[in-house]
């Protein structure tokens, strides 16, 4: 059986003093592709934030890559995050430097000392996301889809066990969103756990994965999107 990378038992998650999710129970394994769905404010992003220590777990048992997220010390959080790749909807690329320099900045910050090693790794991840000839470009010279590919390349630099993608297709047209989802899907096939929040139900049928749905302060696994579930899902995301 594939290794369990994230395990939550009876977890409760708060935003300020409000409970956004309760009785969260989940086991997420290496190589899985996970969709996290639900309407705005249902707790999707809050759940993601607990995975990388941005938001505390209020109660229950929570483990991410062996770290106890209920007791994790502040100085341990950067060590955890080096094992994660995080993809945001708004890219968060440094606009005053080239694609290669954006990636080099991350490698320097995470302890890569040798310039040749950094260059080789940058070349590897750009090839992985189909952007081998774009290293000299600046973010504002790229399309939205190209920028998102660079963000995924940045997330892959340190060969993370887990990729967390928060609405990575939200600002993209359908075809570009499909290409980004396909890329993330292929990354999961290579052994990483990929967790992706989305409002796009068409992607769920085209790229198979487990579907976890936030609704009424609970997290529920949806076996498949049959007609009844499809209608329910459409209502949830409107």
Indicate the helix (H) or strand (E) that contains 171: none
- The predicted pLDDT at position 17 comes to 83
Indicate the helix (H) or strand (E) that contains 116: helix 115-128
* pTM: predicted TM-score of the whole model, two decimal places: 0.89
Q: Find the angle CA(213)-CA(217)-CA(219) to the nearest 5 degrees.
A: 30
pLDDT digits (tens, 9 = 90+) for 203-234: 998 999 999 999 999 999 987 654 444 555 45
In order of 60, 63, 87, 111, 211, the CA distances from 26 in angstroms are 12, 10, 21, 33, 12
Q: Which domains, ranges and CATH numbers included, belong to the chain?
A: 1-83+162-238 (3.40.50.300), 92-159 (no CATH)
- The predicted pLDDT at position 231 comes to 52
Query: At residue 97, does pLDDT exceed 90?
Result: yes
Query: At residue 238, does pLDDT exceed 50?
Result: no
Query: At residue 237, does pLDDT exceed 60?
Result: no
In order of 87, 88, 94, 95, 194, the CA distances from 98 in angstroms are 18, 19, 8, 8, 27
- The predicted pLDDT at position 40 comes to 86
Indicate the pLDDT class of residue 202, thresholds 50, 70 and 90: confident
Q: Which residue has the tokens 């989802």?
A: 181
**Whole-number Å distance between alpha carbons of 57 and 116:** 40
**Nearest one of 40, 137, 123 to 89, comparing CA atoms:** 40
- The predicted pLDDT at position 224 comes to 63
pLDDT digits (tens, 9 = 90+) for 146-200: 999 999 999 999 999 999 999 898 888 889 999 999 999 999 999 999 999 998 8
């Amino acid at each position: 059986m594939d290794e369990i990378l994230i395990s939550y038992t009876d977890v409760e998650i708060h935003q300020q003093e409000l409970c956004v999710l309760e009785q969260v129970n989940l086991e997420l394994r290496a190589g899985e592709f996970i969709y996290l769905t639900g309407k705005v404010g249902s707790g999707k992003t809050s759940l993601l934030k607990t995975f990388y220590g941005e938001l505390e777990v209020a109660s229950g048992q929570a483990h991410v890559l062996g770290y106890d997220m209920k007791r994790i010390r502040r100085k341990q959080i950067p060590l955890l995050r080096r094992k994660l790749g995080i993809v945001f909807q708004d890219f968060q690329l440094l606009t005053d430097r080239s694609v290669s320099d954006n990636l080099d900045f991350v490698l320097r910050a995470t302890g890569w000392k040798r310039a040749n090693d950094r260059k080789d790794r940058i070349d590897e991840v750009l090839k992985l996301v189909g952007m081998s000839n774009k290293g000299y470009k600046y973010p504002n010279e790229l399309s939205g889809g190209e920028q998102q590919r660079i963000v995924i390349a940045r997330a892959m630099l340190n060969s993370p066990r887990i990729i967390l993608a928060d609405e990575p297709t939200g600002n993209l047209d359908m075809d570009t969103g499909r290409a980004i989802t396909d890329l993330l899907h292929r990354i999961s096939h290579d052994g990483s756990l990929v967790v992706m929040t989305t409002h796009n139900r068409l992607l769920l049928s085209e790229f198979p994965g487990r579907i976890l749905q936030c609704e009424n302060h609970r997290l529920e696994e949806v076996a498949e999107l049959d007609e009844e579930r499809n209608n329910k899902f459409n209502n949830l995301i409107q």
